[in-house]
Structures are given as structure tokens and as C-alpha cells.
Amino acid sequence: MAGYHVFPGGTIDSEDTAIDTWTPHIDINLEQIERHLGNGRLSHTDLIGFGIAAIRETLEECGVLLAIGKSKSARDYTRMALKRLEKELPKTWFQDRIIQENWTLSFSRLYRWSHWITPEQMQNRYDTRFFVAQMPDNQSCLPDDHETHQGLWLTPRAALEQNLAEAIALSPPTLATLAQLMAFETGAALLQALPDRNWGDPITPRVTRTPDGPVILEPWDPFYDTVDEIHIQDSSKKVLEPGTWFSRIWRDGNTWKPIGI
């Protein structure tokens, strides 16, 4: 997703799944983690790996640490945010730091949102879980200027509007997620709904080629299961305004834009 605005995230490292190492440094136990983040099919190793990776990557890319610690001050959080900017850190730096400084990772702040799998037509494919977490008090985001070169706080509507105006470029999963988030008028309404939300079925879009360029069909598109290539044209005339639900995303140059049927 080079060049696109996306949510912080990354791959699960082997160190992220070390259950015995991590559980003493997580704010809820394995049974609670299963209820809070599981779906009956994910193993404890999977759940620990996804949660650790989400917290680690949020720190590495944004400088925000979803963790608490006895007698920790704002200076301690700042030190962690600055530490991740050092060059040539060992792969285990995050694990080492959490253990040595006795941090407790806030799995209870993570909530399930969605499960995406890259289309089969793509060369590089990923199996990704999207979480929602409330921003902690007294911390601020700062891109690491290595993996992330710009960070923005935007409402879902503003982000979708700026994407259409080609002021920023959003990835297709980001577009769909922001459209889903627009259903909530306030952050409080979103937080109230999160405990009852599950992962849902995996979302595996399909890519089809058109005279106007690639079009992504989401699983809820009425022609998603069509065997042959479907006929799509005049995509530029079908671009939808933010707030309109969509099942197709058209790549207009370097910008992905939702379009109607």
C-alpha cells in the first residue's frame, strides 16, 4: 500500500505469538481474551499474535502505546515513543522493553471490527484483522517517518471527501471501513456498539478488469459470484458521494473511488 493512507498495522512476528512470555503482561487472561477477541475458531496463539502485533505496530508507526504500568508517567510513554525511532533496533526490542519495564498491554482496549483477505487475483495476499481502539489520554500520534511518513486525524466523512478530491489516497479496505464507520454519528455511539461486534465473515473482494481500469467487487455486490467478467463502463459517471453505500471501487489513476452499479 505504498503511497496510500491506511490504518496502522503490519505482519505478525514470531515473537508476537509467545503465549507464555506475553500473558503476564496482558491486562486480561486467556479466557477473557477468547471472549473479547475470539470467534470460536481462532487459537490462543492466533489471538495473542493479532493483539500483540496490533499494539506493537501502533506504537512503531504512530508512537501510541496501548498499555498501562504502575507509576508510569507521561515521560515513560514519551520514552517508548522515542525508542521506536532509533535505527537498527533488534527484532525483539518491543518484547524486551515491555518485560524489562513491566508494562501491561491493554488488550481490553482492542475491539473486533472486520476480517479482510486480499483478492485471489493479487500477487501479494494478506489475511488481516482490523481492530478499533480508543485513543488513550495524554498521548499523541507521531509518524515514524520510515514506514509512515504522514499522519492525519480525520472524520470518516472528511477522509472520504479528501480521497474523492484526490487530496489523499485511501486503500480499498480503508474506504470500505470508513464508510462503515459513518453509520455512527459519534465516537461514543461507536464505542457503545463495539462489545457486541464480532469478526463476521471474511471479506475477500474480487478484482475485475474494465476498459476504464480495475474495479473491485465486494462480496455483497450482486455480481460478485458471476463466473465471467462482468461488463462495466463509464465508471467516471458512477462515482458516489461519501455517505452512499457501495459495493464497487474503481481505480481512477492512483485513486480508488466508490462507484454505483
Q: Which among 129, 151, 173 is the end of a domain?
A: 151
Q: Which among 95, 125, 151 is the end of a domain?
A: 151
CA distances from 87 to 10, 58, 99, 141 (A): 18, 17, 21, 19
Tens digits of residue pLDDT in 80-110? 999 999 999 999 999 999 999 999 999 999 9
Q: Let me know if residue 138 belongs to a domain.
A: yes
Q: Let me know if residue 236 belongs to a domain.
A: yes
Tens digits of residue pLDDT in 27-79? 999 999 999 999 999 999 999 999 999 999 999 999 999 999 999 999 999 99
Number of domains in the chain: 2
Helix (H) or strand (E) holding 249: strand 248-252
Residue 74's pLDDT is what? 94
Q: Let me know if residue 9 belongs to a domain.
A: no
Look up the domain containing 242 and give its range. Answer: 152-261
Residue 208's pLDDT is what? 92
Residues linked to residue 216 through DSSP beta bridges, in sequence order: 207, 249
Q: Which of 158, 152, 199 is nearest to 178 (CA)?
A: 158
Q: Which among 97, 124, 151 is the end of a domain?
A: 151
Q: Which of 62, 60, 180, 57 is nearest to 116 (CA)?
A: 180
Residue 121's pLDDT is what? 84
Tens digits of residue pLDDT in 160-185? 999 999 999 999 999 999 999 999 99
